Amino acid sequence: MEIKEVFQTKEIKKTLEILEYYQHQCKIIAGGTDLIIQLREGKEKPIALVDISNIEELKEVKETAEWIEIGSAVTFTQIIGISYLQNKLAALVEAAASVGSPQIRNAATIGGNICNASPAADCIPPLLALDAIVVLQRKNIIREMHLEDFITDKGKAALEADELLTKIKFKKLQINQGLGFSKLGFRKALAISKISTAVYIDREQNNRCKEIRIANGALGRCGLREKKVEEYLLEKTLDKTTIHQGGIKLKEEIEKRLHGRSTVAFKKEAVIGVFQKAFKKALECCDTEGSI
């Protein structure tokens, strides 16, 4: 099957009309860093492409009193360059900076990273830890769902054929809330993640864990939350002992999940250090003044 039509749209409305008409025979392209490869390998065979890279609304990052909203066509280079994210959301910036080469970061978009649903997608763990929400739009209908529910399996997301992911949003972080990120790959930025971990902490005044969200990449069929480890750490004092215990508990969960895989011996040990590094960064972030 050959591509017969390529549309370059400047409005969400027009994009949705095209998606409604072509349904499963149409694919959305922005940066194209994943889709171009899939087309070459014959994994995707659409008859139409819709280029959304010129829709200004999808390239905006907005800050409201309570939320940060990132348009789906925002590139990783854009995220790295946003000054007000460098404070409380430095972990998200770090994750964006770890994606591929500079050339890839200039083209690749956060929406594509999410919709491609690769187990090793670098920005998914911090967004999961932030309990991010995706905003999906089809003709006359807008719906929201948690990112955790949107990514359903390796390479699969709960996106209908006539839907467009328009933005990702999450609540701003306050004092005593922190986010940390750590990644283990072969060659830093050019590496596909072997392990990536993000940790969100909401700390009580008495240094106990009020809320914690732990998300991993490349340790399952898709990016996921570590709910059992979160439950184990809840209400515990945030000290070196807790960090150590959390790493051991996470190791046990990874060993069960990856049982029988050739990578389990390496990953169950390596994840401890990656988790502990992300945890410590989250604690440091808790001490940072101000929101975001």
Q: Retrieve residue 15's tokens.
A: 């994009």
Between CA 211 and CA 177 the distance in angstroms is: 9
C-alpha distance across the termini of the chain, in Å: 47
pTM value is 0.95
Q: What is the pLDDT of residues 119-165, one digit of tens each?
A: 989 999 999 999 999 999 999 999 999 999 999 999 999 999 999 99
Q: Is residue 292 part of a domain?
A: no
The CA–CA distances, whole Å, from 3 to 9, 21, 25, 77, 174 equal 17, 15, 9, 29, 48
pLDDT at 192: 57
- Which of 120, 159, 118, 128 shows the shortest CA–CA distance to 224? 128
Same domain, 256 and 209: yes
Provide the strand spans (E) within the chain.
Answer: 5-8, 26-29, 48-51, 61-63, 67-71, 133-138, 141-146, 151-153, 156-157, 164-171, 177-184, 195-203, 209-217, 224-225
Q: Which CATH number belongs to the domain containing residue 256 in this structure?
A: 3.30.390.50
**116 with 42, same domain?**
no
What is the pairing mode between strands 48-51 and 5-8?
parallel
Mark whether 72 and 38 lie in a shared domain: no
Name the residue range of residue 101's domain.
60-171
CATH code of 96's domain: 3.30.465.10
Q: How many structural domains comprise the chain?
A: 3
Q: What is the mean pLDDT of the chain?
A: 94
**291 domain-assigned:** no
pLDDT in tens, 180-215: 999 997 554 454 558 999 999 999 999 999 999 999
